[in-house]
């Protein structure tokens, strides 16, 4: 990838204002395999100026032409799909099969959904004598994480560009190569210069500058709740719009009438997907108290089917954690779970046998977990499942809602009406009933400290548009 040490600004690949490099680490080998440049305030200023200069022309471009540009991007993405899957697998340790079927798919899938939504979106509509217009917010700063690189890049970039906004993207410096590759796709698709810009860098040196920049009209951030608070605080000085998708500690309520074997198995494997590095992972499993021992046995059996290994091996189902920092955090929280008295059903401290090199961890299941324990309250962001018990449905709902987070929740029941009733009482932005397929047109976002705003399809278009009422239109 020849552009890794450049930024994409105003339609061209340019070096940083002040040279500064960062090695990109392969988490499966703990060795550097690439270098990127780190940006600073001068680079942000240049990118924002380009986006600002391009805004009026792009906003005035008919939506049909913006859709045509997005379709060209989709064609480029699909033509270079395998490159994207390989880049994601290498930078964050995703098993190559998972990188193809989930990680890279998220990019193309969300772009297809955004295009379909834009084609039917109500860009203007009369209400009495007033015309309601949906217009682009302006220049948008997009800050994306490392755990689902293309999912979050596309969930922001696609609706922003289709809405007529211009953007400055800062991907995570931990997994930046997919973002650089995506900028190449944008360039090949022929978007006007300045409409899309990319600056790599740290949250402190680039993200915070973007958050407070007076010429950025909106910041869309995905990451930790701690970092989201910092972004919002900085953005408040310029009263810009802030959309955030933050942390989660999602409950998975298995009701007494559910198929316990199926529900526990699927719930356990869902936690292990992506090495547990998903903000909406169902990490708190709630089972009837009398089923605790059986649930632990089922979860242990499911976790022990996970194949930990080389991400390049198509038989691998779980790769390493993304970094040494993440490995140390997960180890600390596993140790805390043990010390606080949870029952370790499988997994635990240390690396799996035969994996001394790489940030590999053991798929871990804790049973007999109470709501007061640290592993039931903190987002671990690793393949660690906590199983809690309840005595009745009302208690299960109360336990599920007993968290500062509210990103997602899961309900398993043999009675769909009952599951729907429980869903209505859960304080979460997304509730999934009985293991449904991924719906790219459903809204995605959180309650409480899981953020604000919604992503996916037309929900993203709403977030990146302003509402103008022209009174006396008719």
Q: Could you tell me which of 228, 217, 265 has the C-alpha nearest to residue 55?
A: 217
Report angle CA 239, 131, 58 to the nearest 5 degrees.
55
140 is catalytic: no
Question: Which residue do the tokens 């090495």 mark?
Answer: 275
Neighbouring C-beta atoms of residue 474, cutoff 10 Å: 9
Neighbouring C-beta atoms of residue 91, cutoff 10 Å: 27
Q: Which two tokens stand for residue 364?
A: 């871990």
Rounded Cα distance, 9 and 197, in Å: 5
From residue 161, how far is each of 71, 73, 74, 98, 465 by CA, in Å? 12, 11, 13, 28, 11
Alpha-carbon torsion, ordered 150, 155, 161, 166, to 10 deg: -80
Rounded Cα distance, 426 and 414, in Å: 18
- Residue ranges per domain, the chain? 7-246+449-471, 251-441
Sheet holding 196-198, edge to edge: 12-14, 7-9, 196-198, 166-170, 139-143, 218-222, 241-245, 451-452
Indicate the helix (H) or strand (E) that contains 169. Answer: strand 166-170
Q: Which two tokens stand for residue 397?
A: 């709902």
How many CA atoms within 13 Å lie on the side-chain side of 59?
20
For the chain (length 474 residues), average pLDDT per consecutive 10? 91 97 98 97 98 98 98 98 98 98 98 98 97 98 98 98 98 98 98 98 96 98 94 96 96 98 98 98 98 98 98 97 98 98 98 97 98 98 98 98 98 98 98 97 97 96 98 96
Q: Is 357 helix (H, G, I), strand (E, B) or coil?
A: coil
Rounded Cα distance, 25 and 152, in Å: 21
Q: Is 448 helix (H, G, I), strand (E, B) or coil?
A: helix
Which among 91, 245, 379, 455 is annotated as catalytic?
245
From residue 155, how far is each of 11, 95, 444 by CA, in Å? 21, 22, 10
Strands 21-26 and 12-14: what pairing?
Answer: unpaired
Indicate the helix (H) or strand (E) that contains 451. Answer: strand 451-452
pLDDT value of residue 1: 63
Which residues touch 183 (CB under 8 Å, ≥6 apart)?
3, 8, 169, 196, 198
Phi (first) and psi of residue 139, to 5 degrees:
-85, 125
Rounded Cα distance, 155 and 398, in Å: 32
The dihedral sign for the CA sequence 67, 73, 77, 78: positive
Rounded Cα distance, 243 and 444, in Å: 12
CB 37 within 8 A of CB 7: yes
Rounded Cα distance, 34 and 23, in Å: 6
CB 443 within 8 A of CB 462: no
Question: Which residue do the tokens 């929900």 mark?
Answer: 459
165 is catalytic: no
pLDDT value of residue 2: 78
Domain 251-441 -> CATH class: alpha beta
CB 425 within 8 A of CB 253: no
* Global pTM value: 0.96
Rounded Cα distance, 203 and 76, in Å: 29
Q: Could you tell me which of 430, 387, 360 has the C-alpha nearest to residue 283?
A: 387
Q: In this structure, which topology does domain 7-246+449-471 adopt according to CATH?
A: Aldehyde Dehydrogenase; Chain A, domain 1 (3.40.605)
From residue 235, how far is each of 159, 202, 445, 446, 448 by CA, in Å? 21, 17, 20, 20, 19
Which among 279, 335, 340, 353 is annotated as catalytic?
279
Neighbouring C-beta atoms of residue 297, cutoff 10 Å: 15
pLDDT value of residue 266: 98
């Amino acid at each position: 990838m020849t552009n890794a040490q450049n930024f994409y600004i105003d339609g061209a690949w340019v070096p940083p204002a002040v040279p500064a490099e960062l090695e990109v680490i392969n988490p499966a080998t703990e060795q550097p395999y690439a270098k990127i440049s780190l940006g600073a305030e001068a680079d942000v200023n240049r990118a924002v100026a380009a986006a600002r200069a391009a805004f009026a022309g792009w906003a005035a471009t008919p939506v049909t032409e913006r859709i045509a540009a997005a379709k060209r991007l989709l064609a480029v993405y699909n033509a270079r799909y395998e490159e994207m899957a390989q880049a994601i697998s290498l930078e964050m340790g995703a098993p190559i099969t998972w990188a193809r079927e989930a990680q890279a798919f998220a990019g193309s899938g969300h772009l297809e959904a955004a295009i379909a939504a834009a084609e039917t979106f109500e860009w203007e509509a009369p209400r009495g004598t007033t015309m309601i217009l949906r217009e682009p917010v302006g220049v948008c700063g997009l800050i994306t994480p490392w755990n689902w690189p293309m999912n979050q890049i596309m969930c922001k970039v696609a609706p922003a560009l289709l809405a007529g906004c211009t953007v400055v993207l800062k991907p995570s410096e931990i997994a930046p190569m997919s973002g650089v590759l995506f900028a190449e796709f944008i360039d090949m698709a022929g978007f006007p210069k300045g409409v899309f810009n990319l600056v790599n860098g740290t949250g402190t040196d680039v993200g915070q500058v973007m958050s407070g920049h007076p010429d950025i009209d909106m910041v869309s951030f995905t990451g930790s709740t701690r970092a989201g608070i910092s972004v919002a605080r900085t953005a408040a000085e310029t009263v810009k719009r802030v959309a955030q998708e933050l942390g989660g500690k999602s409950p998975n309520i298995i009701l007494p009438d559910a198929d316990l074997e199926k529900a526990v198995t699927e719930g356990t494997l869902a936690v292990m997907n992506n090495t547990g590095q998903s903000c909406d992972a169902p990490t708190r499993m709630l089972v009837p108290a009398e089923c605790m021992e059986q649930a632990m046995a089922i979860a242990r059996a499911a976790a022990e089917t996970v194949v930990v290994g080389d991400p390049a091996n198509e038989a691998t189902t779980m790769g390493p954690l993304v970094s040494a920092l993440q490995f140390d955090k997960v180890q600390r929280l596993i140790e805390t779970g043990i010390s606080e008295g949870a029952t370790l059903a499988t997994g635990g401290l240390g690396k799996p046998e035969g994996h001394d090199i790489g940030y590999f961890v053991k798929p871990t299941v804790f049973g007999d977990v109470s709501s007061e324990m640290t592993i039931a309250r903190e987002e671990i962001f690793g393949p660690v499942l906590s199983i809690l018990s309840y005595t009745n449905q009302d208690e299960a709902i109360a336990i599920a809602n007993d968290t500062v987070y509210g990103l997602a929740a899961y309900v398993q029941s043999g009675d769909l009406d009952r599951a729907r009733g429980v869903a209505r009482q859960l304080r979460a932005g997304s509730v999934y009933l009985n293991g449904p397929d991924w719906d790219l047109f459903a809204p995605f976002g959180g309650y409480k400290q899981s953020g604000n705003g919604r992503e996916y399809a037309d929900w993203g278009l709403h977030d990146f548009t302003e509402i103008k009422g022209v009174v006396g239109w008719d």
